[in-house]
Amino acid sequence: MKKFLITLVFIVGVLQLIRPSKNLGSVNPANSIEAKLLMPTIVKSSMQKACFDCHSNNTRYPWYFDIQPVGWYLTNHIRDGKRHLNFDEFMTYNAKKMDHKMEELVESQTEGWMPLESYSWIHSDAKLSQEEKNAIIDYAKKIRAAVGYINQNNIEDNEKKEDRD
């Protein structure tokens, strides 16, 4: 049993030497979502505390990030979040993707699946009030209007529906 514990401590110690890289990149303001439409203060502050850690090029890291394998888990979670939506790279998306991401942002707030419960549990300030959620929803709808993407399938479906009526 003693050998096992010594080996376990050694392995855990070695794991601490293998550090994931941090999400602390540069931001090109021309690529940011705010290049399309400036965020009202309530939207920006709400998204900073509830969204940007996983959906931007800069993450505020908690102290426990430096404990492995927790750091690896967080790194993968952040990569996955950025893969789905990166507010700092929003203007690099085509109009269809911009529209879809804002549609998902509205859904995430109306249905309550973002921020993730696991994130809100640890970051209590990330729990958004209904006023904050509504402000984010309104902003996302304005972005969708500014993008001006028209989904041809929806138009064709609506035309078919009108023809039947």
> pLDDT of 96-155, one tens digit each?
999 999 999 999 999 999 999 999 999 999 999 999 999 999 999 999 999 988 776 655
Rounded distance between C-alpha atoms, residue 83 and residue 99, angstroms: 16
Residue type at 6?
I
Nearest one of 39, 18, 58, 29 to 132, comparing CA atoms: 39
Is the residue at 10 inside a domain?
A: no
Return all residues near 125 (Cβ < 8 A) that are at least 6 apart: 49
Is the residue at 13 inside a domain?
A: no
Is the residue at 8 inside a domain?
A: no
pTM value?
0.82
Is the residue at 122 inside a domain?
A: yes
Q: What is the pLDDT of residue 91?
A: 96
Number of separate domains in the chain: 1
Is the residue at 89 inside a domain?
A: yes
Identify the domain containing residue 126 by its residue range. Answer: 19-164
Question: Picking from 17-31, 85-99, 118-132, which range would have the lowest pLDDT averaged per residue?
Answer: 17-31
Is the residue at 12 inside a domain?
A: no
Is the residue at 2 inside a domain?
A: no
- Per-residue pLDDT band at 24 (split at 50, 70, 90): confident
Is the residue at 5 inside a domain?
A: no
